Amino acid sequence: MDDREYFERLESTAETPDELFEHFSRRSIDGRTYYVLSDARHGVERGTVVVEAADAVVRGYPSIPRVLVLDSGVAAFFDDDQTVVAEEKLNGFNVRIADVGEPLAFTKGGHVCPYTTSRVRDLLDLSSFFADYPKMMLCAELIGPETPYTTHDYEGIDSNAVRVFGIRNRATGEPLPVESRRDLCDEYGFPQPRLFGWYSQGAVVEGVREAISELDDAGREGVVMKSADGTEMVKYTTESHHHDELVYAFSLPFDRGRDFFFSRVIREAFQAVEFDEDDERLRDRAHDLGESVLLPAVETIREVQAGKTAGERHTVRGDSESIDALLDHLRNHSLTVEIESDRREDGERIVEFVKVAESTMGRTQYYLDGGTYNE
Strands in 272-326 per DSSP E: 311-318
What is the side-by-side strand order in the sheet with 83-89?
195-200, 83-89, 222-227, 233-237
In which region does residue 340 sit, left (phi positive, over 0), alpha (psi from -120 to 50) or beta (all else)?
A: alpha
Size of the site for a second copy (CB under 8 A): 56
For residue 22, give Cα distances in angstroms to 3, 35, 136.
11, 11, 27
Among 26, 265, 321, 344, binds a second copy (CB under 8 A): 265
Report how far residue 243's alpha carbon sits from residue 89's, in angstroms, rounded to the nearest whole number.
Answer: 16
Residue list 296-315, contact with a second copy (CB under 8 A)? 297-298, 301-302, 305
Give first-to-last CA distance, the chain, whole Å. Answer: 49
For residue 333, give Cα distances in angstroms to 111, 117, 327, 355, 357.
10, 17, 10, 11, 14
What DSSP element (H or E) covers 176? none
CB of 266 to a second copy, least distance (A): 6
Among 88, 239, 268, 312, binds a second copy (CB under 8 A): 268
270 belongs to the binding site for a second copy (CB under 8 A): yes
Among 273, 319, 331, 344, binds a second copy (CB under 8 A): 273
What DSSP element (H or E) covers 347? none
Among 56, 105, 161, 293, binds a second copy (CB under 8 A): 293
89 belongs to the binding site for a second copy (CB under 8 A): no
Binding to a second copy by CB under 8 A, coded x per residue (else -) over 132-171, reads ----------------------------------------
Question: For a second copy, which stretch binds (CB under 8 A), given 94-102, 121-129, 295-303, 348-356?
Answer: 295-303
Positive or negative, the CA dihedral 160, 165, 171, 173 is: negative
CB of 175 to a second copy, least distance (A): 19
Among 203, 218, 266, 339, binds a second copy (CB under 8 A): 266
| 52 or 274: CB nearest a second copy | 274
277 belongs to the binding site for a second copy (CB under 8 A): no
Q: Minimal CA–CA distance to 146: which of 179, 166, 125, 122?
A: 122
195 belongs to the binding site for a second copy (CB under 8 A): no
Asked if residue 164 lies in contact with residue 191, where contact means CB atoms within 8 angstroms, the answer is yes
Among 9, 77, 107, 362, binds a second copy (CB under 8 A): 77
Question: For a second copy, which stretch binds (CB under 8 A), given 155-163, 219-227, 279-287, 347-355?
Answer: 279-287
CB of 166 to a second copy, least distance (A): 18
Binding to a second copy by CB under 8 A, coded x per residue (else -) over 217-256, reads -----------------x---------------x--x---
Cβ–Cβ contacts within 10 Å for residue 144, how many? Answer: 22
Report how far residue 210's alpha carbon sits from residue 200's, in angstroms, rounded to the nearest whole number.
Answer: 15
Residue list 352-371, contact with a second copy (CB under 8 A)? 367-371
Among 53, 286, 340, 342, binds a second copy (CB under 8 A): 286
Helix (H, G, I), strand (E, B) or coil at 54: helix
Residues sharing a CB contact under 8 Å with residue 256, sequence separation 6 or more, in sequence order: 248, 249, 250
Positions in the binding site for a second copy (CB under 8 A):
63, 65-69, 71-77, 234, 250, 253, 258-259, 261-263, 265-266, 268-270, 272-273, 276, 282-283, 285-295, 297-298, 301-302, 305, 367-375
